[in-house]
Amino acid sequence: MAKLYFRYGTVGSAKTLNLLAVAHSYSQQNKRVVVIKPALDDRFGREMVKSRAGLEREADLLVERDSRLDPEKVRGANCVLVDEAQFLSVAVVDQLRQIASEFDIPVICYGLRTDFRTEVFEGARRLFELADEISEVKTTCFFCDSRALFNLKFANGKPTRDGPAIDLGAEEKYLPSCARCYSRHFSTDV
């Protein structure tokens, strides 16, 4: 039976690069891959899945919070890959679970675990509840050599916990941080 996978990491941990490498590997073997991404992520173009390393690929399916995934769009695929899975609704994650189980297609989701306030995203929470296999895509803290756990947001050059949970950006706004450095940025001594 195929599995539902959740591969999570902080900003800058090469999650999308991993997704694109898996897509490339399947394509090199003449296997069909379906790439899905949330429509709200338009940082690199609405349809584009792009890594910070410059690799890119057009998404096959864009999903909204209330999307109903058409089984015919994935039927016969060898693998389904999902970028920015933290932005998915519970209903969409439930449908991905169903695709893995009923169509015997591996579904590999990549995304953040938590937002910049260290709160779990809805899509990530559901994936933690339903995924057969969960693994971390690791990177180091921007400020030291410890393992990054959190996404530190900056506004006007200063760390912040203000703003909506979904606030799209890249290195100009977010940096990977270990727990110690994250806390230090919000202490009164800094």
- Which residues are designated catalytic? 84
For residue 140, the Cα-to-chain-centroid distance in whole angstroms is: 17
Whether 104 contacts 1, CB under 8 Å: yes
Q: Which two tokens stand for residue 113?
A: 């675990």
Beta bridge partners of 169: none
Q: Which two tokens stand for residue 131?
A: 């995924």
CA distance 85 to 19: 12
- Sign of the CA dihedral running 64, 83, 109, 99: positive
Q: Which two tokens stand for residue 43?
A: 């940082």
